[in-house]
Homo-oligomer: A and B are copies of this chain.
Amino acid sequence: MAKIIPTLNSTRKEKITYAAAALFRQNGYRATSMREIAEALGVEAPSLYNHISSKQEMLEAICFRVGDSFLSNFDRIEKDGSSFIKKVETIIRFHIRIMIEDYDMMYVAEHDWRYLPEPHHEEFGRMRKRYRAKFSGLLAEGMKGKKIIPLDPNVAVLTVLSAVNGVDSWHRSGKKIDAASLEENIVALLLRGLAS
């Protein structure tokens, strides 16, 4: 499986951002120093500033690339002409795949977006809200058409969305199952839980 979030290009700036994402994911944004990022790339910390302008800028790049990817993917699926339940399935599969393939960036966007400096923090919060509202609207529609059991659509969305974060534990503890089976198992549990 290929990465979902596009690698814009292979500039030095991109490479620094990827190295930063890996370290932010392992140790947390606040606990990762510019010196550690530099060391991972084999240079001294001040050299990084020839390519990036601040630590915060890298966090912004990571978060918004993930956020944009989610939103544009949702819009694409919404218009793809497939059946209602198939749309929900495709969206869930997209979440799982991004957790598997773009784990570092996804993890950082999910856990460290609160450290975004202020105009961006609020903007990212709005993006998340917008995404959940779209998803919740789709589920509410399915409930009206009796394709989904009657639940509070907001609760259903937050449950499904965080269920998928279970892939975290899969990454960390041995990967005793292959990625495709992992996806099938999660999809089976969630779709069965939702479907009427």
A residues contacting B by CB (< 8 A) are 27-28, 30-31, 111, 114-115, 129, 132, 149, 151-152, 154-156, 158-170, 173, 176-177, 181-182, 185-186, 188-194
Contact = CB atoms under 8 A, between A and B. Distances in A.
Contacts of A190: 159, 189, 193
Given A31-B115, A152-B177, A185-B152, A132 B162 contact: no
A152 B181 contact: yes
Contacts of A185: 151-152, 155-156, 159
Contacts of A173: 129
Contact of A162 (B28, B129, B165, B193): B165
Contacts of A149: 188-189, 192
6 contacts: A132-B169, A149-B188, A155-B182, A156-B189, A160-B163, A163-B163
Contacts of A181: 152, 155
Given A28-B114, A155-B182, 9 more contacts: A28-B28, A111-B111, A149-B192, A158-B168, A162-B163, A162-B164, A162-B165, A163-B166, A193-B193
A162 B161 CA distance: 9
Contacts of A193: 188-194
Contacts of A161: 166, 169
Most buried by B among A115, A159, A176, A188: A159
